[in-house]
Structure formats: C-alpha cells, structure tokens
C-alpha cells in the first residue's frame, strides 16, 4: 500500500537527516518546542492575522443528551478560515512536529505507520466511546 511506504520513507528520511539531536533528552525537548511553536502559529492566526476568531462560551448541553447527540451541541469555537500565510506557517510547524515524532519513533524502535494502524483499529472498535 502506498501510504505505508510514505510513512516508512518519511521515517527513514528523518533517521538519515537527524544528526545533532540524537539524544532522547534532545528529542523530547525539541518535540515539546515544536508543539509549542505549532500552538503559537494557531494563536497568531487569531491574535496577529485575524483570519481565525475564537468564539468560546460555556457549553449548553441539554440534560439527558446521548453521546451521539453531543456533536449537535459541541463545536470547535473557531470562526473563519486560515489565510494562505497562516496555513503555510501552520503546515511548516506541523511538519516539524511530525519530524520529531518520527525521530522519537526511530530512537525507540517504533514504526509510525504501525502506530497509526493500531490507533485506527482502536478508534473503529470503540467508536464514539473511545474518548469518553
């Protein structure tokens, strides 16, 4: 399957390119840093650019609602769409996050694609109750 080849190739490329941050301590720190930069890119799309707006308030969920009905009452709190500039910045930061995730997988002898498949199976099995 093409998708597993892409994941494996990406993970292999990361192993070939990662020279400096090969320590688990360095990788954990870099992973946190890239995650923070990704969060900052989202925040800047709201506070700097304004292409996104956050409209959050207390959730009003009628009593007796079922888990399936929750989707009607819960939303993302986001209004608007990412502009091209913010989209590019966020894609860059998400790419870096994936890079360090792959580096951690390499160091710990894990396979990203296998992890993805296991998580997908768990999601399909548990469905909406996965996160409850």
Q: What is the pLDDT of residue 96?
A: 95
Range of the domain at 34: 2-131
Q: How confident is the model at residue 112 (pLDDT cuts 50, 70, 90)?
A: very high
**Average of per-residue pLDDT across 83-91:** 97
Contacts of residue 128, defined as CB under 8 A and 6 or more positions apart, other chains included, come to 67, 68
How many angstroms separate the first and last alpha carbons of the chain?
32
Q: What is the pLDDT of residue 46?
A: 96
Q: What's the CATH number where 92 sits?
A: 1.10.287
Does the pTM surpass 0.85? The reply is no
Q: How confident is the model at residue 16 (pLDDT cuts 50, 70, 90)?
A: confident
Q: Give tens-digit pLDDT for 27-52.
A: 999 999 999 999 999 999 999 999 99
Contact 30, 100 (CB under 8 A): yes
For the chain, what is the domain count?
1
Q: What is the pLDDT of residue 67?
A: 72
Q: What is the pLDDT of residue 18?
A: 78
**Average of per-residue pLDDT across 16-28:** 83
């Amino acid at each position: 399957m093409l998708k597993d080849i892409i994941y494996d190739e990406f993970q292999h490329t990361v192993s070939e390119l990662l020279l400096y941050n090969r320590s688990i301590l360095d990788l954990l720190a870099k992973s946190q840093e890239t995650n923070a930069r990704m969060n900052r890119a989202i925040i800047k799309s709201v506070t700097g650019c304004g292409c996104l707006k956050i409209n959050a308030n207390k959730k009003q969920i009628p009593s007796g609602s079922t888990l399936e009905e929750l989707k009607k009452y819960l939303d993302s709190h986001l209004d608007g769409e990412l502009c091209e500039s913010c989209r590019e910045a966020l894609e860059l930061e998400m790419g870096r996050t994936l890079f360090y995730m792959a580096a951690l997988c390499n160091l710990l002898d894990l396979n990203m694609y296998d992890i993805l498949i296991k998580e997908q199976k768990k999601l399909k099995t548990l469905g909406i109750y996965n996160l409850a």
